[in-house]
Structure 1
Amino acid sequence: MNIRGLGGRIKRKYISDLFKKQQVGFICLEETKCEHISKERCYQIWGSNEIECIEVGVVNNGGGIITMWKKDCFELKRYRSGNNFSIIEGIWKVGKPIEITIANVYCGGTLREKTIIWDEISEISKSHPIKLWCVAEDFNSIRSVGKRRCQNYNVNYSSEIRSFNKFIEDSSLVDISLVGRKFTWYKPNGTVKNIIDRILVSLEWLEKWSGSKLYVEGRSISDHCSLILKEININWGPKPFRCLDVWQKDARFKELVRNKWANYDIRGNGLYVLKEKLKRLKFDIRNLNKFVFGDVNKQRVELEKRVQELDGKDDEGELSVVDREERRQLLADLGQVRVKQEAILQQKARLSWISQGDLNTKFYHSSIKWRRMQNGINGLKVGDQWCEDPAEVKARVKEFFEGRFSGGGELTG
């Protein structure tokens, strides 16, 4: 959250009301423009004394950050501070306790000054033992020209865009997309709006909290919007069925589809027959995948384990002819399983460089989750209200397409 200075009863009330409304456990405030803020002042801001806080004062009359958290949500282990950033390490105690790192950063000034901060944080994250990272920051930088709306489009942001994106890539961080609004900062006169406030997380963070979503609150006293990171897992009903390309390379798959489709005895109009056949075919293909193709990840582990056993036996003495033939066949099977595994991950993750042999299972599974998060419908804006209720969202989508296909007027949702 970016608040220019913390003076004034209205600002303190706005922040306190926001904390109560969202039931947050960890807060990052940027650009406070304060030399020092006492613990008692932090208690007033939050509206509770059951908190702890760390402050980094202003640098060259600018910036200033405060990091605060509830004692029953987070336990501090250690921290380090730099020019306009603090890195907090500790135990997140909500649910099963787990070690996390939160970086609270304010990047003002020139590109050179920003780059110094980015490089320092990137180097720390690379060698840090805790891999669950969250970087909450007023970056004052955009990732692409399309993320900025202004009257003057002739300004060249290419160098800063490249440096900013390089920092995100080098730090192996993921930019969580916004929910509810398109921009996070608005110039008071309305001539400029862009996304300069972000929350970046590591792939390991997404592994732990795959339902992470970044909500943008409406602005009130600041030209910045408040960002709320939440983990939301909503049951949207049955998941869609997706056909894997690797199945089509197996003759058993094509034979099953051909035979099952011809033998389904379904009567009714054409669309009903098509729907029911696809429904039954989905069930049969799932059984084929489960009982015939099997779990390729599990197969790979079992094959590698047996190969290691034979290698260990070989180290102790000569393998028999039967053992050598078994190992040869196991290695051939292992190669086929790896090809299938890479093909499945490539299709799910939509990442081209996996075809070059750079198989990092953990990375690609995280990328798959991230792609699904990006492509998912988090909710709809119904009138002036953001709606995430699955029944309401489905009803609005159905209404929209009914209007489209019936030739009616355009519906909004």
Structure 2
Amino acid sequence: MGSSGGILVMWDKRWVSKLDFWVDRFSVSCVFSLEEDGFLWTFSGVYGHNDDDGRPLTWEDLICLIDLPLEGATFTWSSGRECPTLSRLDRFLLTGDWEMKFLNIIKAALARTTSDHIPLDLDCGGMRKRSSPFRFENMWLRTEGFMERVRSLWESYVVSGSPTFSLASKLRRLKEDLKKWSRDDFENLEWRKNRAFDEIANINRKEGEGSINEGLVQRRVECQVEIAEIALLEEISWRQKSKALWLREGDRNTKFFHRLANAHRRGNHIERITVDGELLSKEDDICKGVTSFFQNLFTKTKTWQPLLGGLHYSISDFDGVNLERHFSEEEVLRVEELQ
């Protein structure tokens, strides 16, 4: 493919299984089966001929496929100059069977940041996301004013009680305040990134309409810098989630960290489980089955009485309450008098 192009095919084993593959000079093809219903389909990544004589050979192989409308752009490649050369080089081409299988499929253009190609997204469904527990994020330390914020919050807490109780209470309140701050500020961070992507997309559209100027070119560069800064914070976050501590921050391995984190998530994922002899595979059934199993395990199902020398005995409810109640002041004073 040369030194600046190529094909990389990746897939998620939770959703599809690769049955076969073959590699030609300008394409890589894989036969997949959907885990959900066994639907068979073939993906082919094609890096077309870049010379006039070879291009007809590429289109002969693709002539019967469907080119869905592209949302958000009229081109996929730009020279990036003030008077740019524009072309639609990148496409998702589908068969009729695939289009019938995924009726609501959408092909959309994403914002182009550093590459001269616009990335394309073929959306035919997504994964459910669950909320995660509170964790200290290392990327917070890169946020301006974070240490001063923590110090101010800590000094604002007034708690009465023992030192241990005071420390635990202040830590609990600090955790809640940091959760709220992280939710507000880092949702805003995501909004900033999306806004920068939108600006780049708008500039790209104007570029396609021939109405770009030097100011818009400069603004696109500024948006790219802002996205890079936010990407660094995301890299730190994914590095922490991936637990790849042997790589230093700044290695620009966000995708690698993301892959490791997803691998950890897959390792913790329960795809199917047998509870009381029944195989469960649906998410709701697994949650109910596990909950029911441990409830039954730790619930007393019959009356149990201790034995002492073969003698049965029991404690009345009144005696049981008295054994667990706090000592009264009168009882304490009586013991002191006896001593």
Q: TM-score range by the shorter chain?
A: 0.3 to 0.5
- TM-score where L is the length of structure 2: 0.40
Higher strand share: 1
Query: TM-score, normalization: structure 1?
Result: 0.33
Q: Which has the larger radius of gyration?
A: 2
